[in-house]
Structure 1
Amino acid sequence: MSLYGDAIKALRQVILLDERVRNTAVDLARMSQEVADLRDRVSRLEGMLAAGMALSREANPARDRRRLAGPSDQSK
């Protein structure tokens, strides 16, 4: 009985391990998709931010010039 019991226990462990490996593969694929989606969202946000900054510069060019101090202005 001990030999058969050990064999059955080992088979159960192999089956459970196989199931865990499969589940891990599914989880990894899902996480990879989530990372790709987040990368796309960040890329779109960067584009929107760059466009907003460009529009802001076009709308207020004089303000940007005043804010940027040259080397001679910093000594005052």
Structure 2
Amino acid sequence: MAPETATLIRDALALDADQRAVVANALLGSLEDASGTGEVDMAWRAEAARRLGEVRDGAVDLIDADEHYDRLRASFTA
């Protein structure tokens, strides 16, 4: 480990819990961006928008959640 890294870790651990959480969140966020999860988020947003469009256009039949779960339970007991 580089001396600068050790110093950074020591200084970060000296922060109070709230400040450490902010730093940790920022560091984790930088790893997520580097690993391409931004692309994954964009893909999920596009999928959600597509599905919402289908609902608004009437292209899909919506089922009440309680009805869906009743059908699902019935299929397990059959």
The two structures have a TM-score, normalised by structure 1, of 0.36
The two structures have a TM-score, normalised by structure 2, of 0.35
Report the structure number with the largest CA radius of gyration: 1
Name whichever structure is richer in helix by fraction.
1
